[in-house]
Amino acid sequence: MAQSGQAADERHIYSVTAREGLRLRAGAGVQFDVLQLVPFGTRVYVQREKDNWAAVDLQGDGAVDGWMNLDFLKLISH
């Protein structure tokens, strides 16, 4: 049990700052397909970063759902 508590504590929570929403992509770059549009103000969990892109978990279940550009995310908690 202590391990899952530690993992949750290590997550970084961000908020989407793009007014029209932010595209969740299949990979770290604009060349990847758009999986969905995530609305302004949505909280996401960042798992890791690569070249100004963040691998995000939308539900907080530990699974990466896609990638978002870090320029449109604001750190809330780490």
Number of domains in the chain: 1
Percent of the chain residues topping a pLDDT of 70: 87
Considering the entire predicted model, what is its pTM? 0.85
pLDDT at 32: 98
22 contacts 68 by C-beta, under 8 angstroms: yes
What is the extent of the structural domain holding 13?
2-77
pLDDT at 78: 76
State the chain's maximal CA–CA distance in angstroms: 40
Residue 69's Cβ-side half-sphere holds a number of Cα atoms within 13 Å equal to 13
Q: CATH number of the domain at 62, please.
A: 2.30.30.40
